[in-house]
């Protein structure tokens, strides 16, 4: 992790942990001296301890993610007492899964497919929550204005994309690759043989927009949430790129936690963390800004079974084996 | 010769030439990239980030090189023929056992060497996450194996008398080796360490692909957001580092045997007679001041580098990491084909060969062009007008600068650029390998041209031969054996490098590894790596035969 952020790099982290430990000991003895009534109060708010390493699949520009997770980190620190939160960026989708697997990340915002991969790599991993929009998530197909691809009425209409150049996002992106490839397949388009050239993998939704707008690819497939935000921001050149199709819905992004966070951060931690995420509803201080960056109104419950369909599709296109 | 031509035609046919590979719509993006060259980001904040990233890249290279040297020094003695000398135990049954052991020891060294650093890194992140140890080991392990084989050759080449005397006097094998030969080979070994260091810097920049920090990583981040101005700041930083290191290592090698390859597992003994002769003359020289000074600075830099990347070597002993390693190995064995079965692996392997052949052909042609334009005139005292002289200087500068740029930009960044104007497949990979290796070949060919005996040129000038005839009938034929030997050697290196461009989306076995890793199918990764190892070793054998044939 220290490769990315020298703020929290290991040696300095060691010093920080040592300092924390000393203060913790000092505080502990303080409470004892102050008497029993303080202890009962502490029990009521169940204090935890340690640094929670939070990460996310890098589906958008790194700066956007840093902003989003810095605010999110502050929120969690305020609502889960005693916990420090560190946002750890990763280079690509597979790296988020492998770093979750190695235990270097505690809680990760995964996509539908990477979530399935991560749960199979880390048995017992806990699905914490999803956004309201993730239960009915969609992909959009966007096209360069001069591509000749116009509005598409239904899934079968995607067949017009054959013969055009197309870019996906990451290879393991649910809304940027897996579902679009699945729907294209339903329309009879084999992405490996029927496009102009092989499909590109831009790496992220933002870059897919950029590459289609620049004309590098005629068609792109990406998360509707990212697209809608780009449209709302008004930064797109509408003479160059436009939406041509919105797919049927599927389950997508969700929070996934390591199985043994309670032993690491204190009894009841996982439940408390889930509660804090679910209570993020825009009413409290700064909550609206976080939700806006997540493109959602609130977080809701989810369960592993929601992603069975994605797992099945992932197997058919070979990203889950 | 015929074989080479057939291989070239077949390869071009395999990857296919047609306008369909060109994505004509991408030229504007590429134009924006080159346009940004004049506008690098120069804000204080970004400059500071660039300096920190450069320090990280250098630190990985320093610590990685030191690790590889330690591995090399430890393994070389048992890899040397001398260790397996037949003098004492000459009974037949022992001889058979000894030969078996020798082959085992060699195979154990050959495999880590054949696996590219980036593949090591991709496997190591599965165990260590993004800890700096990944970069250090990914450089240290394969480079260590390469160094061991080179050091073993150096040991075998050293004068045998002292060693034989010690052995005759009954000294144990290792002690005899250390005391007799250790002192003798010190200069060659240090020279090689610097050569490795130069390679390690390039590798450290490529490791950005897997998220190791440093310049390559920052470049990849900038590329993800298409921030071309940021990219150029980072590219200039790499160019400066590459330029300084080029000059430095040339200076060292000029005082040392000239090793005329670039970042492969080339033995110091060069592939052609000229260079072997030059080595025999120089190799027993004592280390120069420059080298001693450089060696001391490298040693002094180790703790600083260590501190900067905050390396904790004990992570390898960590219980959790060890069990992750065990689980990774278990998931990799037994190897299994990916979803496409053997035919997918075979096709990818054939693509890899075709890509490497087209790339070496193109880089040799372009590299030669750049080298000829950029080479210093062999005879300095030509009477020329001031104007002609300035034009000459400008030409040389442009050629040399473009060569330097071409090799300063890592292969994966070239691949991203190529992917803007070429559809995914073999061609963006070929373009990237060609761009980078043109820079390398230009440098190697340049050295080959400048090393020629100046007297022939002087004679021809005196006889009034024009420049073009001198080039065609004297310079090129004279340099040809070395140029061909270098090309054969470089082909083998490019074969290994195809994996880098594959990982970022081009065709071939690298692409297959990337697909396997996305699906976390480690058993399939093993079969792909095995194919790569076989091909790398085969390419090395073919290239060696080509070089011998050229003598």
pLDDT 10s digits, B358-373: 999 999 999 999 998 8
Question: What domain range is B300 assigned to?
Answer: 62-324
Average pLDDT over residues B437-447: 90
pLDDT 10s digits, B161-179: 777 787 788 888 777 767 7
Q: Which of A38-42, A243-247, B286-290, B492-496 has the lowest mean pLDDT?
A: A38-42
To the nearest 10 degrees (0 to 180), the angle between helices B2-15 and B341-374 is 120
C-beta atoms of B225 and A90 within 8 A: no
For the domain that residue B105 is a member of, what is the CATH number? 1.10.3720.10
Phi-psi region of B285 (alpha: psi -120 to 50; beta: other; left: phi over 0): beta
Write down the mean pLDDT value for chain B: 83
Pairwise CA distance, residues A245 & A242, whole Å: 9
- The answer to whether position B443 is within a domain reads no
Pairwise CA distance, residues B10 & B39, whole Å: 43
Q: State the pLDDT at residue B243.
A: 86
Q: State the pLDDT at residue B255.
A: 63
C-beta atoms of B224 and A207 within 8 A: yes
Q: Are A171 and A96 in contact (CB under 8 A)?
A: no
Q: Which residues contact B534 (CB under 8 A, 6 or more apart)?
A: none
Q: State the pLDDT at residue A14.
A: 40
Q: Residue A256 — pLDDT band, cuts 50, 70, 90?
A: very high
β-pairing, A139-144 with A219-223? Answer: antiparallel
Domain count, chain B: 1
* Residue among B410, B433, B418 nearest B355 (CA): B433
Q: Residue B19 — pLDDT band, cuts 50, 70, 90?
A: low
Q: State the pLDDT at residue B190.
A: 80
What domains are defined for chain A? 46-134+252-316 (3.40.190.10), 138-246 (3.40.190.10)
Average pLDDT over residues B58-81: 91
Q: Looking at chain B, which residue has its C-alpha nearest residue A10?
A: B310
Q: State the pLDDT at residue B254.
A: 67
User: What distance lies between CA A41 and its chain's CA centroid?
Assistant: 36
Pairwise CA distance, residues A174 & A223, whole Å: 8
Q: State the pLDDT at residue A45.
A: 58
* Residue among A96, A80, A288, A105 nearest A174 (CA): A96
Q: Are A120 and A88 in contact (CB under 8 A)?
A: no
Q: Residue B86 — pLDDT band, cuts 50, 70, 90?
A: low
Q: State the pLDDT at residue B171.
A: 80
Pairwise CA distance, residues A68 & A73, whole Å: 9
Q: Residue B250 — pLDDT band, cuts 50, 70, 90?
A: confident
* Mean pLDDT comparison of B256-260, B293-297, B433-437, highest-scoring range: B433-437
Q: State the pLDDT at residue B183.
A: 64
Q: For chain A, give percent helix, strand, coil, nearest 5.
A: 50, 15, 35
Residue A91: which of B56, B210, B226 has the nearest Cβ? B210
Q: Are A296 and A166 in contact (CB under 8 A)?
A: no
Q: What is the percent of chain B with per-residue pLDDT over 70, rounded to a whole number?
A: 89
The DSSP line for B502-551 is HHTT-SSHHHHHHHHHHTT-HHHHHHHHHHHHHHHHHHHHHHHHHHHHH-
- The answer to whether position B248 is within a domain reads yes
Q: Which residue has the tokens 């070395």?
A: B482
C-beta atoms of A198 and B339 within 8 A: no
Pairwise CA distance, residues B93 & A32, whole Å: 77
Q: State the pLDDT at residue A133.
A: 94
Q: State the pLDDT at residue B523.
A: 95
Q: Where are the alpha helices (DSSP H) in B115-160?
A: 117-128, 133-157
Q: State the pLDDT at residue B253.
A: 67
Of the two residues B265 and A79, the one the predictor is more confident about is A79
Contacts of A219 in chain B (CB under 8 A): none
Element (H, E) at B326: helix B319-332
Contacts of B527 in chain A (CB under 8 A): none
Q: Looking at chain A, which residue has its C-alpha nearest residue B219?
A: A91
Q: Are A93 and A171 in contact (CB under 8 A)?
A: yes
β-pairing, A219-223 with A166-168? Answer: parallel
Q: Where are the alpha helices (DSSP H) in chain A?
A: 10-34, 36-45, 62-79, 93-101, 112-121, 179-186, 205-213, 224-233, 261-265, 269-278, 287-294, 308-316
Residue B211: which of A11, A90, A165 has the nearest Cβ? A90
Q: State the pLDDT at residue B277.
A: 36
- The answer to whether position B260 is within a domain reads yes
Look up residue B505 and give its two tokens.
Answer: 């989306």
ω into residue B522 within 30 of 0, thus cis? no
- The answer to whether position B375 is within a domain reads no
- The answer to whether position B348 is within a domain reads no
Q: State the pLDDT at residue A67.
A: 93
A306 has a pLDDT exceeding 90: yes
- The answer to whether position B7 is within a domain reads no
Q: State the pLDDT at residue A46.
A: 64
Contacts of A105 in chain B (CB under 8 A): 129
Distance from CA of B531 to the nearest CA of A (A): 20
Letter string b/e over residues B154-171, b meaning 16 or more CB atoms within 10 A of that residue's CB: bbbbbeeeebeebbeeeb
| 3-state class (DSSP) for residue A73 | helix
- The answer to whether position B206 is within a domain reads yes
- The answer to whether position B155 is within a domain reads yes
Q: What is the percent of chain A with per-residue pLDDT over 70, rounded to a whole number?
A: 86
Q: State the pLDDT at residue A8.
A: 36
Q: Residue B381 — pLDDT band, cuts 50, 70, 90?
A: low
A26 has a pLDDT exceeding 60: no
Q: State the pLDDT at residue B100.
A: 83
B424 has a pLDDT exceeding 90: no
Look up residue B523 and give its two tokens.
Answer: 């058993």
Distance from CA of B513 to the nearest CA of A (A): 12
Other C-beta atoms lying within 10 Å of the C-beta of residue B391: 12
B494 has a pLDDT exceeding 60: yes
Average pLDDT over residues B238-260: 73
Q: Which residue has the tokens 């052991």?
A: B101
Residue B130: which of A99, A121, A200 has the nearest Cβ? A99
């Amino acid at each position: 992790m220290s490769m990315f952020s020298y703020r929290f790099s290991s040696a300095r982290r060691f010093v920080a942990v040592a300092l924390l430990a000393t203060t913790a000991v000092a505080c502990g003895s303080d409470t004892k001296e102050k008497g029993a009534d303080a202890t009962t109060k502490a029990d009521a708010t169940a204090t935890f301890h340690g640094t929670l390493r939070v990460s996310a699949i890098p589906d958008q520009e790194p700066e956007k993610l840093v902003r989003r997770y810095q605010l999110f980190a502050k929120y969690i620190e305020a609502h889960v007492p005693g916990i420090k939160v560190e946002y750890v960026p990763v280079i690509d989708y597979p790296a988020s899964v492998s770093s979750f697997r190695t235990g270097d990340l505690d809680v990760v915002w995964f996509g539908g497919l990477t979530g399935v991969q991560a749960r199979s790599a880390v048995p017992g991993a806990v699905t914490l929550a999803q956004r309201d929009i993730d239960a009915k998530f969609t992909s959009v197909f966007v096209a360069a204005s001069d591509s000749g691809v116009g509005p598409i009425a239904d899934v079968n209409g995607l067949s017009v994309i054959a013969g055009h150049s197309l870019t996906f996002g990451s290879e393991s992106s649910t809304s940027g690759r897996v579902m679009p490839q699945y729907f294209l397949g339903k329309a009879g388009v084999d992405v490996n043989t029927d496009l102009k050239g092989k499909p590109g993998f831009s790496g992220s939704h933002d870059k897919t927009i950029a590459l289609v707008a620049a004309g590098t690819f005629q068609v792109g497939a990406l998360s509707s949430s990212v697209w809608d935000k780009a449209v709302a921001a008004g930064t797109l050149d509408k003479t160059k790129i436009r939406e041509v199709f919105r797919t049927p819905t599927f389950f997508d992004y969700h929070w996934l936690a390591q199985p043994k966070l309670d032993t690491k951060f204190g009894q009841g931690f996982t439940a408390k963390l889930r509660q804090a995420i679910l209570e993020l509803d825009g009413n409290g201080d700064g909550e609206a800004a976080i939700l806006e960056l997540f493109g959602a109104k609130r977080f809701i419950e989810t369960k592993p079974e929601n992603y069975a369909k994605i797992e099945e599709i992932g197997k058919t296109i070979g990203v889950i084996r | 010769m015929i074989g080479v031509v057939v291989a070239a035609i077949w390869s071009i046919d395999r990857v296919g030439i047609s306008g369909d590979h060109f994505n004509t719509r991408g030229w504007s993006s590429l134009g924006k990239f080159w346009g940004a060259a004049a506008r690098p980001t120069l804000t204080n904040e970004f400059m500071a980030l660039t300096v920190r990233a450069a320090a990280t890249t250098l630190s990985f290279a320093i610590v990685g090189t030191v690790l590889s040297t330690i591995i090399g020094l430890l393994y070389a003695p048992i890899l040397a023929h001398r260790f397996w000398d037949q003098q004492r135990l000459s009974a037949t049954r022992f001889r058979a056992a000894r030969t078996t052991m020798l082959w085992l020891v060699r195979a154990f060294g050959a495999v880590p060497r054949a696996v590219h650093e980036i593949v090591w890194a991709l496997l190591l992140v599965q165990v260590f996450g993004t800890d700096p140890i990944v970069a250090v080991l990914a450089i240290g392990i394969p480079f260590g194996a390469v160094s061991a084989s080179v050091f073993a050759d150096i040991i075998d080449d050293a004068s045998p008398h002292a060693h034989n005397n010690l052995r005759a006097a009954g000294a144990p094998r290792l002690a005899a080796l250390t005391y007799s030969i250790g002192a003798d080979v010190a200069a060659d070994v240090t020279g090689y360490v610097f050569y490795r260091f130069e390679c390690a810097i390039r590798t450290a920049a490529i490791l950005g692909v897997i998220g190791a920090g440093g310049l390559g990583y920052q470049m990849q981040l900038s590329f993800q957001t298409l921030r071309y101005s940021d990219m150029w700041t980072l590219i200039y930083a790499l160019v400066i580092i590459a330029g300084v290191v080029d000059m430095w290592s040339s200076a060292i090698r000029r005082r040392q045997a000239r090793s005329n390859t670039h970042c492969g597992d080339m033995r110091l003994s060069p592939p052609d007679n000229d260079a072997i002769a030059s080595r025999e003359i120089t190799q027993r020289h004592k280390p120069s001041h420059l080298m001693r000074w450089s060696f001391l600075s490298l040693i002094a830099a180790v703790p600083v580098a260590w501190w900067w990347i905050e390396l904790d070597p004990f992570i390898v002993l960590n219980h959790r990491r060890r069990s992750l390693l065990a689980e990774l190995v278990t998931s990799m064995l037994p190897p299994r084909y990916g979803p496409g079965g053997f035919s997918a692996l075979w096709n990818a392997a054939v693509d890899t060969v075709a890509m490497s052949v087209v790339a070496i052909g193109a880089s040799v042609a372009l590299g030669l062009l750049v080298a000829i334009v950029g080479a210093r005139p062999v005879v300095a005292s030509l009477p020329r007008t001031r104007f002609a002289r300035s034009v000459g200087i400008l030409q040389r500068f442009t050629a040399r600068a473009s060569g330097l740029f071409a090799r300063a930009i890592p292969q994966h960044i070239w691949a991203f650029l190529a992917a803007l104007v070429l559809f995914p497949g073999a061609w963006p990979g070929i373009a990237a390998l060609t761009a980078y290796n043109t820079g390398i070949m230009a440098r190697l060919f340049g050295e080959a041209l400048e090393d020629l005996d100046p007297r022939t040129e002087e004679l021809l000038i005196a006889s009034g031969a024009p420049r073009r005839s001198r080039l065609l009938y004297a310079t090129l034929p004279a340099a040809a054996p070395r140029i061909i030997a270098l090309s054969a050697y470089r082909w083998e290196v490019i074969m290994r490098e195809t994996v880098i461009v594959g990982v970022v989306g081009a065709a071939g076995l690298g692409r297959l590894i990337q697909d396997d890793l996305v699906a976390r199918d480690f058993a399939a990764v093993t079969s792909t790596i095995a194919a790569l190892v076989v091909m790398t070793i085969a390419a090395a054998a073919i290239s060696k035969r080509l070089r011998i044939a050229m003598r």
